A and B are shown apart, each in its own frame.
Chain A
Amino acid sequence: MITLINLKILIKLLLILILPPVIGCILSGIDRKVTAHLQGRVGPPLLQPLYDVIKLFNKENIVVNKYQNVYVITYFIFVVLSLFMLLMKMDFLMIIFVYTIANTSLIVGGMSTGSPYSRIGSVRETISMLAYEPILLFYIIGMYMLTGSFKISKLAYTNKPLLYYLPLIFIAMLFIMTIKFKKSPFDFSTSHHAHQELVKGMFTEYSGPALAIIEVAHWYEYVFLLGLIFLFWYTSPIIGLILALITFFLEIVIDNICARLSWEWMLKFTWTIIIGLSIANILFIYLYNVKIL
């Protein structure tokens, strides 16, 4: 019996480690394909992100200082850990803390190089963290007020989806997803293919295997971020998945129809309208004392 449980946990662990990068790779391939079609191009093959990563592993690793590699590995480990904690339905507050460490290490890595492009990119990433962290906390507070617990596993005991009670926070999270996916209105810290800003922003000084590890960590991060959207409809996994996929395609469309904005605009926008929406939602739950558990 004990070995059976151990085997189950082992299989679960393997699935958590192997499945997300596969999904993330295909998602980022779809991203590039859809973007190309929206621009009237044919676009690269679906597995192009995988080819890029294998190619990068075959390249030489040029670093300015050896600490850069440490920060890349820290970023990778903490992104995987936060996704692992999310899939194991652990404490939501803790997950966001672990996730913050991942992003912080990326910023410190960019800062450690001394290249002006990389530094400005890192500073801008810090500013975008300033913009999105409060919204994530409001999301957690909203969930806590509804269920009386920070644990994600508590969501399984109710059949009422969070989206009914946190619709304004969902809208706020859509904007946060645009910041986190580094999509067009807010892609000023670093950006994806064919949008160049500040050379390559935070990742200017990374090359070869280090960049490949960052890219693989991004695949985990894609799944993690869509997992946060999935939680809005945790009661029915299929609707939750559809919600996450709709969000993803919405982000691609927003990426292609928007021009890049300045960081001042983003900070003003998130700290007034987006935080206002979130507070309105929290106030509503507080005043009417809504509980789903």
Chain B
Amino acid sequence: MAGISKNIMSKSPWVVHVNCNSCNGCDIEFLACLTPIYDAERLGIINVGTPKQADILVVTGSANYKNIDVLKNIYNQMPEPKVVVAVGACACTGGVFHSCYNVIGGIDEILPVDVYVPGCCPKPESIIDGLIEASRILEEKRIKIKNPDKGVAI
């Protein structure tokens, strides 16, 4: 049992996907990860509908004044431990919309982003790579929550 529960977070990271006014390019590429060609489910990655059951928040598109409340609300509904992945150039920095009058910038202006997946739009391979990295950070956070004084063990 102890052997199974080691690295348990990286064995079944469940993903919730939020579109912050993205152009849909990154969303199509993210959903391509779940198709038979890339098959993210073989790594235990599942796209769930509700943030309450998710471990990883995948955000596409830039942060702006219209979606800031929605994004914060979804993030706060996720149970600990949780990880945020910014997918695409807009989510990382603001992309081509950076310094528009209504755009705040990248997602890291609002939420603590753990993994950045650059590209416009990123390939499904690099998104899966980012999700695997995120699931590793998730496991670190779980250990940190379990033993707060020990720090990062991996």
Residue numbers of A with Cβ under 8 A of B are 32, 36, 39-45, 47-48, 50-52, 54-55, 58-62, 117, 193-194, 196, 199-200, 203-208, 211
Question: Are B80 and A193 in touch, CB under 8 angstroms?
Answer: no
Neighbouring A residues of B150 by C-beta, 8 Å: none
B→A interface (CB under 8 Å): 4-5, 8-9, 11-12, 34, 36, 39, 41-44, 46-50, 52-53, 55, 77, 79-81, 142
Residue numbers in A under 8 Å from B36 (CB-CB):
39-41
**Are the CB atoms of A194 and B46 closer together than 8 Å?**
yes
| Bound-state Cα–Cα, A49 to B9, Å | 13
Cβ A44 vs Cβ B44 within 8 A: yes
Q: How far is the CA of A196 from the CA of B5 in the complex (A)?
A: 28
The one of B8, B42, B77 in contact with A55, judged by C-beta atoms closer than 8 angstroms, is: B8
Complex Cα spacing A199 to B16, Å? 11
Which residues on A sit within 8 Å (CB–CB) of B80?
Answer: 59-60
Known A58-B5, A200-B49, A208-B79; further 8 A-B contacts with Cβ < 8 A: A40-B36, A44-B43, A44-B44, A55-B8, A61-B79, A194-B46, A200-B48, A204-B52
Which residues of chain A are within 8 angstroms of B5 by Cβ–Cβ distance? 54, 58
For B77, give the chain A residue with the smallest CB separation: A62
Contact check, B39 vs A36: say whether CB atoms are below 8 A apart: yes
Most buried by B among A41, A194, A211: A41
> CA separation between A280 and B52, bound complex, in Å?
47
4 shortest A-B CB distances, which residue pairs?
A: A60-B79, A207-B52, A199-B49, A51-B11
SS class, residues of chain A in contact with chain B: loop
B115 to chain A, nearest CB (A): 19
A59 to B9, CA, bound (A): 9
| Chain A neighbourhood of B43, CB < 8 A | 44
A40-B36, A206-B53, A207-B53 in contact; A58/B9 too (CB < 8 A)?
Answer: yes
Q: Are A59 and B81 within 8 A (Cβ)?
A: yes
Q: Give the Cβ gap from A89 to chain B, nearest Cβ, in Å.
A: 32
In the complex, what distance in Å separates the CA atom of A204 from the CA atom of B4?
27
From A52, A59, A206, residue with most partner B Cβ within 10 Å = A59
- Whether the Cβ atoms of A51 and B12 lie closer than 8 Å is yes
**B9-A52 in contact (CB<8A):** no
Q: Are B50 and A204 in contact (CB under 8 A)?
A: yes
CA distance in complex: A52, B4 (Å): 11
In contact, A207 and B41 (Cβ under 8 angstroms): no
Question: How far does the Cβ of B10 sit from chain A's closest Cβ, in whole Å?
Answer: 9
Query: Hey, which chain B residues are within 8 Å of A55, CB to CB?
Result: 8-9, 11-12, 55
- A-side contacts of B52, CB under 8 Å: 62, 204-207
